[in-house]
Structure 1
C-alpha cells in the first residue's frame, strides 16, 4: 500500500503554489522513490501561463505529471514538475454526437463513469484505465477495440515557451499505436514543448457497441447476453481488468509494460510455424498484432524478479513493485525480458511507460 503524500515546503508566488523537495513516490503508480526539486500544482490553464511568465520557472525545463500511471522513475527530477490537477466535466449534446469536455487533471475512469451516468455511451470499452484525461491523448490509450483517437474531438494545448493556447483537432495529433504528436520529438513533435489542459471527446450517434474482442465475446457467451448495453459492457470491462491486472493501490505497477508488437503477415506465419499457439490478431492493413504477454510468458518470465521488481504472476505483461523496488531494478528486469523475447522470437518489445 502506498503511503499518503506528506506536506512538502510550499511557497505561493505570483499566484502559483510552488512546492520544493517533493517525494514523488505517492505520485507514481509504480510507487518508485524519487524527489522533485520543484513542483507546481496546475489547477487552471492560467497557472501554465504563470509558470511560463515566471522569471525563474519560465526558463527551466518542464516535466508534466498527470496520474503517474505510465512512468518509471529511476532518479530525482531536476526539471520543474507541472502536476496537472485541472478539474471539470460537462456534456454537450449535438444532433450527431455527444461532446464530453474534461479538465486535464480529471481521472480518466471518472470521466468514463461520468459519461455513462449522463446517459452517454461510447467510452465504456476504455473503463478502468488508470491515469488522467490529459494524459490519455498523449499515450493514445486503448483497450478492447477502442483507442482515444477514435473518440477525440480536440484538445486545448498551451505552449510551454510562449504560454499561447491553441485548440488542436484530432486530425493533427498524428496518432499511432500508443503514440501521438505529444510524445514525438523532432520536426512537428510536441514532446516537452506543450501541455494539454482540456480534452473534448466525441461519442457519435447512433451508438454502436464494440464487441469484437475475445474477452467480451466470452462474457456474452457466459451470460447469454448477446446485445449488451453500454453499462453492461462497462461492467464487463471492469471485471476483466480487475481479474487480470493488479490494483496500483495495493501493488505498484504501471499497467501493461510493453506494447503488443505488430509484425508482417510473413513474420507471423514464421512464428506460428514454430509456436502454433501464439496469440495474434489481424490488423486492417494485413499485418498482425502479437500478444506481448504471451511472448513473455512463453519465455518463462511470469513470477520472476530482479530485486524488488517482478513480473506479475497472473499477467506476464505487467511488471510490479513487490514493496521496495527502485526504478533501476524495473529497467533491468524489462531489458532482460526484451533480450529473452528477442532471442526466442526475433521480436523487440517496446516499453509503454516513460522512463525518467
Structure 2
C-alpha cells in the first residue's frame, strides 16, 4: 500500500470526503486527489502533518505501510574506502581485529589532540578533511585503548567514543546512513566501556538526529525520552555537561514529536529544554565532547525549526529575532539560518531569503553543498521568479547543482 492508498483508507475510516478533508486540514483538494490517485507519491512534511492532524493520527501512521523503491547505492569505494575499513575491520574467528601495521604508538594525550582536531574539522564543515583524518584517528584511539593501563583506560575509551561519534556525524551529513548507524553503535559501546553515562547519552542525541532524518519519528522520540529519564540531572547539583545533554535529548524528542503530530509531548519536552538551557548557559566544556554546549539560544533556534515544521512562518520569524548572530553550535546555527530563509520565503520576502542563502554560501560553503533543504529553497526561489533570474540566484543554483 502506498501513501495515497493509506491516506484514502484513513480518510474513509474518519468518515470524510476528499472535500471534507481539504476543508478540515487546509490542504488543497487537488493535492489530496493527486496523492490518492497515485499521481504524487509523496508530499512535504507540513502537508502530511496537516493531513494527520485533520485525521487524528500521527504523521508516522500516514507513512505506514509505505514501501520505497531503493535506488542503486552510490559507489563510495574510493572516497570512503579508508574510513569504512577503519569502522568495519576484518575479524578472525577468535574475534580479533585485523589492523594495518602502524609504527606509531599513541598515548592518551595524542588521542585527545586527534579528537580536538577531528571535532574542529566537523565544526568547520570540512567533511573532506574529516574523512581523510578519521581513519588514522580511529586506529590510533583503538591502539591507545589496547596499550592503556587500567586506571587510564576509561578515559581513553571515552576519547574513542568521541572519535566514533564524530565519524557518525560526518557520515550523516554525507548521507551515508548505514555506516553512520554502525559508527553510532561503536560509540555507544565505547561510552559504556568508559563508564560515562552522559557521553553515551550524547551519542543517543546523534542517533536521534539520524532517525528523525529518516522519518522514524516515534523511535527517535522514544529513545530520547527514555535516555533523558535515565540521566535526569539535579539542576542545582549535577555537572553542567549532564544538564546540557539532558537538554539536547529533550530537544530531540520535541523535534521528533512535532513532526509526528504529538504536540503535547513536544511542548513538555521544550519546557524541560528551556529549564536546562538556563542552568547550562555559559558552560564551557572542560574537554572536547559533542552536545555539551547548551544555552537559551539553542532552544530558540530549535523552536524556529519546529515553527516551520507546523507551517507558522510568523512565529518562526518572531522567535528568530531573539537568536544572537553567530550563536553556537555552528552547525545548529547554520541549520537555523535555513529556517529563517524558509520563513522569509513563506512570507513572500524572496530577496531576504536569497540574502540569507548567499551569506551561508559565503560562511559555510562545504556544509551548504550537502543540504537538501537549501536545494529546495533555491528551487522555490527559481520557480517564484516571473522575470529573468538574477545572476546571484543563478550562481547559487549552479553551486548546489540545481538545473
TM-score higher than 0.5 here? Answer: no
Identify, as 1 or 2, the structure richer in strand: 1
TM-score, length of structure 2 as denominator length: 0.26
Identify, as 1 or 2, the structure richer in helix: 2
For the pair shown, the structure with the greater C-alpha radius of gyration is: 2
Which one scores higher on RCO, CA 8 angstroms, separation ≥ 6? 1
TM-score, length of structure 1 as denominator length: 0.28
